[in-house]
Amino acid sequence: LPGLHILAFVFALEVSVGKTNTVMALNNSDVLLPCTFTTCIGFQDLVFTWYFNSTELIYHGKIKSKASEPVLVGRNPRVEFVGSTTGKDNNISIVLKNVEFSDAGKYTCHVKNPKEKNAQHNATIFLTVVQKMVETDNTLTLIIVGVVGGLIGLLILFMLIKRVVLFIIKKTQDGKKECLVSSSGNDNTENGLAGSKAEQKAPPKA
């Protein structure tokens, strides 16, 4: 029945890491890995886990109901839970402390809700670790803008020249057509055909 499919879709568990799934962090800094979940029918004894590169479990928590905050089951010592599930959003974000280059990779936030027949879903964040944040060089930006602007200018100039050339060619071709018409008229007359020469010489009416 179509109605059952609609109900299943409405009750679906959703997990999100926000608008972008990429995060950049400085070496030796702390980085927030955001994650929220939504469910239309609520949750009971919900389980959530964070994985590093799909296999390494770095945080495991349980939430009894909407009225209670998560209970820690297990975690990596460098991971701290910073979310809240009693507020407006079901926030299960974590902070990874003292980030190292080896921490770069894929982080998956996984949620399982027994109330929705153990419906489960996940969302992924890709973390990049850098030595220092590089500021964008405005000079380079200006050069790029200048080059692009110059190219656009050249393109417009080319299009204008092309139109002028095409116009001249068209005029030349029109002139040639006129020549062809008059010469064909002469040829017809010379060949004894009823040409247009006599018609052309007809005196204009007053």
Q: What is the CATH number of the domain that holds 41?
A: 2.60.40.10
On whether residue 40 sits in a domain, the answer given is yes
On whether residue 172 sits in a domain, the answer given is no
Check if the beta carbon of residue 82 is closer than 8 Å to that of residue 94: yes
Query: What is the model's pLDDT at position 156?
Result: 75
Query: What is the model's pLDDT at position 177?
Result: 47
Query: What is the model's pLDDT at position 165?
Result: 67
Residue ranges of the chain with pLDDT lower than 70? Answer: 1-11, 134-150, 153, 165, 169-206
What residue numbers bound the domain in which 19 lies? 14-128
Query: What is the model's pLDDT at position 137?
Result: 56
On whether residue 206 sits in a domain, the answer given is no
On whether residue 67 sits in a domain, the answer given is yes
Rounded CA separation 94/103 (Å): 14
Query: What is the model's pLDDT at position 183?
Result: 43
On whether residue 200 sits in a domain, the answer given is no
Nearest partner of 35 among 101, 100, 79, 74, judged by Cα: 79
- Please count the structural domains in the chain: 1
Class of residue 124 by CB neighbours under 10 A (exposed 0-12, middle 13-18, buried 19+) = middle
This prediction's pTM: 0.60
Strands 22-26 and 119-130: parallel
On whether residue 149 sits in a domain, the answer given is no
Per residue in 8-49, pLDDT (tens digit) is 445 578 999 988 899 999 999 999 999 999 988 888 999 999
On whether residue 177 sits in a domain, the answer given is no
Rounded CA separation 179/172 (Å): 11
Query: What is the model's pLDDT at position 162?
Result: 74
On whether residue 162 sits in a domain, the answer given is no
Class of residue 115 by CB neighbours under 10 A (exposed 0-12, middle 13-18, buried 19+) = middle
Rounded CA separation 112/60 (Å): 12
Q: Name the CA dihedral angle for 155, 161, 162, 166, rounded to a multiple of 10 degrees.
A: 170
